[in-house]
Amino acid sequence: MLGFRIFDLTRRVDKSWINKFHAIPVANISDVMTRMSAGGASLRPMHAAGNLCGPAFTVRTRPGDNLMVHKAIAMAEPGDVIVVDAGGDLTNAIIGELMTSTAQKKGLAGIVINGAIRDVGVIGKGSFPVYAAGVTHRGPYKDGPGEINVPIGLGGMVIEPGDLIVGDDDGLLSIPYGDVERVYDAAAAKHQLEEQMMADIANDTLDISWIDAALLRLKCEVSRGTR
């Protein structure tokens, strides 16, 4: 039935790529993806610390209902990231301590909820990655409908099942399955460049000549004596 169906996850990014992406800041990945993709500024890390990286096990659910999220956690394999489009509604929590503990016990990589969660006192002290749009004490319903492993959208970002989900303190990003190698190569180069720039800052050797060159190219009027 359309809107109430379950599919298996048939593709996953190889673990070797996941280990590599763990070392790259999300901001660097975003830069090389032309800054055109993001999970939405409202989706924030609710856990104490720890980066997120793994294949997307997607869920679309009716706002305030977590039946399909329970099923997704039961189906997912170690290393998967449960990514839930709950419409961004904050009326009812989609997950809390019990579901988070179950996911962690199964070895999942993390959970993303485009909606609300609860039990943040516990979740906020742990290292298991949980991203959400908000918090409420009001619990969920368990009636459906919903879909598992279908394309979903979070904050304008389209996520296909099996795409690579990355997250850190700055937020979330989805890397299309077929673009993982190309994005990694560019992001790793960007990260290396920024590390060199940090060294130049520490040594007071950072080249800032590009600023005046940009102003000249853009025909900015600069008064004499301006530094």
pLDDT of residue 121: 97
Question: For the structural domain made of 5-186, what CATH number should be given?
Answer: 3.50.30.40
0.85 surpassed by pTM: yes
**Known binder of ligand: residue 96?**
yes
- In the predicted model, what is the mean pLDDT of residues 21-29? 95
**Tens digit of pLDDT for each residue in 188-210?**
999 999 999 999 999 999 999 99
pLDDT of residue 224: 73
- In the predicted model, what is the mean pLDDT of residues 20-31? 95
**Known binder of ligand: residue 195?**
no
Distance, in Å, from the CA atom of 49 to the CA atom of 158, rounded to the nearest integer, reads 26
- In the predicted model, what is the mean pLDDT of residues 65-85? 98
Q: Tell me the domain boundaries of the chain.
A: 5-186
**Known binder of ligand: residue 2?**
no
Facing residues of 168 across strands? 171
User: Is pLDDT of 30 > 90?
Assistant: yes
- In the predicted model, what is the mean pLDDT of residues 133-153? 97
List all residues 6 or more positions away from 59 whose beta carbon is below 8 Å from its beta carbon.
68, 69, 72, 82, 83, 84, 85, 146, 147, 148, 152
In the numeric block, the tokens 């039946």 are attached to 67
- Long-range contacts: 217-226, Cβ < 8 Å, 24+? none
Phi, psi of 171 (to 5 degrees): 130, -160
**Known binder of ligand: residue 198?**
no
**Known binder of ligand: residue 98?**
yes
- In the predicted model, what is the mean pLDDT of residues 58-86? 98
Whole-number mean pLDDT of the chain? 94
**Known binder of ligand: residue 97?**
yes
- CA separation, residue 133 to residues 165, 185, 193, 215 (Å): 16, 31, 33, 39
